[in-house]
């Protein structure tokens, strides 16, 4: 996300021309080709049979026409650009007397899962994912992007039946004689297969994912880096072993580090379990690559992370040395350069003894982590003393300009104020609790602070936290979220976890069905995250939760939400029947509810469609509902 003012579901562009170019590139990219939520008006096609051709006029009735004799045309040998892997031809060009190999064409219904919903569309997803190499797909001119879209759908909607086909795709060899662009497309197919297997939690695919990562090491690191997070999601231990292996190789091979300057930044987050072997590898790499003043001179990318890894692996002497540098004044230039990397490791919020540093450095994140950790444990005398000191310090800071709440003051930080109020509320301050509650449900605040406040309230199990988080999610239906933070959102596969996404996940972990309100969010990132959670948790109350709030949402959000709810099958039937029959509902809601019932082949769809067609604004959705209802799948 760019610096400065931006919304949660848009990105800044420098100019109109640059924006046009960016949009064109995005539309051609595999990410765009596999978008989870395409517009409804492009996904449903009329599935009626073509009329039989009229009989030809008998030759006797043709008028004679004098023409010159022309040389007969001859067929040139056909050149096959895409041959299945199992093809036994010695080269890409067919021999003169040989019949060109027949390509596999997967003939599908004109309407796939994007139109007819997830349950009815699942067989089509499995057919596309299971299709042999070189297959073509009816109505899809770009078979690789269509494969990738179906792989992502399989992972998002928890289609475990796709696992064998995804495993085959991941382990399928790539012929060396193919052109580079074609090899790259096949490698991207493997990347999408690995990501889908990670979404499905298929731990048995760990060795195959590792083999794919090794194969990508020699061809640049872009696709390698995109796929790297799938391995720790499947097998954290294997991911740590691979990271240590790569670090050992980079330590002894300068060319490897030159080819990927971010190697340590990419791999060190996977080294999380302190072992003797891990510490030996980290210490060896640091002794060879990090000089005492490496950070002050800039060093190489990852120098700060490598030093932090030494601390995480149990180097207590270094930890004491660095804590002395960061706890009071920043005494060295390396402490200044590596502050953001070292503080979370040296003072993570694990022990009450860190409290003086939390206060001196205003480390609200670590303070809140500690409060969430000790909220359910029996307080010790030391914990009680620390809580008292923290409460006194926080109350004293309440008038400071960064947390006082004066929006006219440029020093004011809304996100810091949200954490400040959450910490006070977690320590029992009733005034701060009321201010925090008001911030969460403030309908005029469209920043990230209310989302941070709602998330921290859930983490601290404050009274009424879930109810107010649900109110905030309802507000997110009608407003965009402005974000001033320049830090990137964390990713989990293809999913971005925004501040709103943290609230959605926290509610889902509590088993609160109101997390499904994220399906109606104005942020497509949060709709994608919620769709994945709905497919896995199958919340029984999601139909009513989403249906009752749908009238406030944008048309695209309603389309995405009701389409996603099709994964719940017939449990939403009564809700959709009620919405379709309610004349007070806006046309997008009534129309999409009718389409949902068509996905279920509800018997009321034909008669209801006839009624809705006579009402202004319903004609497109009625046409789609009729197509969905009679679709073959």
φ and ψ of 342, to 5 deg: -90, -35
Which pLDDT tens digit goes with each residue over 489-544? 999 999 999 999 999 999 999 999 999 999 999 999 999 999 999 999 999 899 99
pLDDT reported for residue 134: 83
Average pLDDT of the segment spanning 285-301: 66
pLDDT reported for residue 451: 97
pLDDT reported for residue 332: 81
pLDDT reported for residue 255: 82
φ and ψ of 140, to 5 deg: -120, 110
pLDDT reported for residue 293: 54
Spatial distance between the Cα atoms of 437 and 457, rounded to a whole number of angstroms: 9
pLDDT reported for residue 17: 45
- Reference 109, options 131, 90, 119, 124; nearest CA is 124
Mean pLDDT of the chain: 85
pLDDT reported for residue 120: 94
- Reference 112, options 139, 135, 148; nearest CA is 139
Backbone region of residue 304 per phi and psi (left: phi > 0; alpha: psi in -120 to 50; beta: other values): alpha
Residue 6's pLDDT band, with cuts at 50, 70 and 90, is very low
Residue 544: is it exposed, middle or buried by C-beta count within 10 angstroms (0-12/13-18/19+)?
A: middle
Average pLDDT of the segment spanning 551-566: 96
pTM, entire model? 0.84
DSSP label at residue 106: E
Q: To the nearest whole percent, how much of the chain has pLDDT over 70?
A: 83
Residue 99's pLDDT band, with cuts at 50, 70 and 90, is very low
Query: Which residue carries 């992007």 as its tokens?
Result: 145
Which pLDDT tens digit goes with each residue over 420-472? 999 999 999 999 999 999 999 999 999 999 999 999 999 999 999 999 999 99
Please state at what angle helix 449-459 crosses helix 430-440, rounded to 10 degrees. 130
pLDDT reported for residue 64: 57
Residue 48's pLDDT band, with cuts at 50, 70 and 90, is low
Average pLDDT of the segment spanning 555-570: 96
User: In this predicted structure, which of 75-89, 116-130, 429-443, 559-573 has the lowest mean pLDDT?
Assistant: 75-89
pLDDT reported for residue 247: 93
């Amino acid at each position: 996300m760019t610096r400065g003012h931006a919304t949660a579901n848009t990105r800044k562009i420098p100019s109109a021309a640059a924006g046009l170019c960016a949009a064109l590139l995005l539309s051609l990219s595999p990410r765009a080709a596999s978008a989870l939520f395409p517009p409804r008006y492009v996904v449903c096609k009329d599935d009626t049979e073509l009329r039989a051709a009229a009989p030809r006029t008998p030759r006797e009735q043709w008028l004679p026409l004098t023409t010159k004799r022309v040389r007969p045309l001859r067929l040139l040998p056909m050149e096959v650009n895409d041959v299945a892997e199992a093809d036994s031809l010695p080269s890409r060009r067919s021999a003169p007397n040989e019949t060109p190999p027949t390509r596999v064409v997967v003939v599908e219904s004109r309407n796939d899962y994007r139109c007819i919903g997830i349950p009815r569309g699942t067989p089509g997803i499995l057919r596309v994912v299971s299709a042999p190499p070189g297959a073509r797909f009816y109505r899809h001119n770009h078979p690789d992007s269509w494969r990738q879209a179906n792989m992502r759908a399989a992972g998002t909607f928890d289609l475990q039946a796709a696992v064998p086909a995804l495993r085959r795709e991941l382990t399928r060899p790539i012929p060396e004689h193919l052109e580079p662009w074609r090899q790259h497309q096949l490698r991207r197919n493997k990347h999408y297969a690995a990501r889908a297997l990670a979404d499905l939690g298929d731990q048995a695919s760990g060795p195959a994912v590792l083999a794919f990562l090794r194969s990508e090491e020699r061809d640049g690191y872009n696709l390698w880096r995109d796929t790297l997070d799938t391995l720790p999601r499947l097998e954290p231990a294997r991911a740590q072993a691979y990271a240590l292996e790569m670090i050992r190789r980079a330590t002894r091979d300068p060319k490897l580090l030159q080819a990927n300057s971010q190697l340590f930044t990419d791999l060190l987050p996977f080294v999380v379990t302190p072992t003797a072997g891990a510490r030996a590898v980290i210490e060896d790499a640091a002794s060879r690559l990090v000089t005492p003043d490496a950070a002050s001179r800039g060093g190489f990318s990852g120098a700060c992370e490598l030093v932090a890894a030494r601390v995480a692996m149990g180097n207590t002497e270094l930890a004491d040395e660095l804590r002395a540098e960061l706890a009071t004044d920043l005494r060295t230039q390396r402490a200044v350069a590596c502050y953001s990397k070292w503080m979370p490791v040296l003072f993570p919020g694990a022990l009450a003894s860190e409290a003086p540093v939390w206060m001196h450095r205003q480390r609200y994140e670590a303070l809140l982590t500690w409060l969430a950790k000790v909220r359910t444990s029996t307080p010790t005398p030391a914990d009680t003393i620390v809580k008292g000191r923290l409460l006194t310090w926080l109350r004293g800071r309440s008038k400071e300009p960064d947390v006082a709440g004066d929006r006219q003051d440029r020093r004011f930080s809304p996100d810091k104020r949200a954490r400040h109020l959450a910490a006070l509320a977690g320590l029992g301050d009733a005034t701060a609790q009321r201010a925090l509650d008001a911030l969460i449900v403030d309908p005029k605040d469209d920043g990230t602070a209310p989302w941070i406040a709602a998330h921290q309230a859930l983490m601290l199990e404050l009274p009424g936290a879930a109810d107010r988080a649900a109110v905030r999610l309802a507000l997110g239906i009608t407003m965009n979220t402005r974000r001033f933070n320049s830090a990137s959102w964390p990713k989990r596969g293809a999913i971005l976890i925004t501040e709103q996404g943290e609230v959605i996940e926290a509610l889902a972990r509590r088993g609160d069905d109101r997390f499904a309100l994220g399906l109606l969010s104005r942020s497509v990132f949060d709709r994608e995250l919620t769709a994945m959670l709905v497919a896995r948790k199958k919340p029984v109350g999601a139909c009513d939760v989403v249906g009752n709030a749908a009238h406030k949402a944008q048309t695209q959000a309603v389309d995405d939400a009701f389409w996603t709810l099709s994964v719940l099958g017939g449990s939403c039937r009564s809700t959709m029947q009620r919405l379709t029959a309610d004349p007070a509902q806006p046309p997008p809601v009534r129309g999409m509810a009718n389409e949902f019932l068509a996905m279920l082949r509800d018997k009321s769809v034909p008669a209801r469609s006839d009624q809705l067609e006579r009402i202004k604004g319903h004609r497109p959705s009625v046409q789609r509902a009729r197509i969905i209802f009679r679709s073959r799948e």
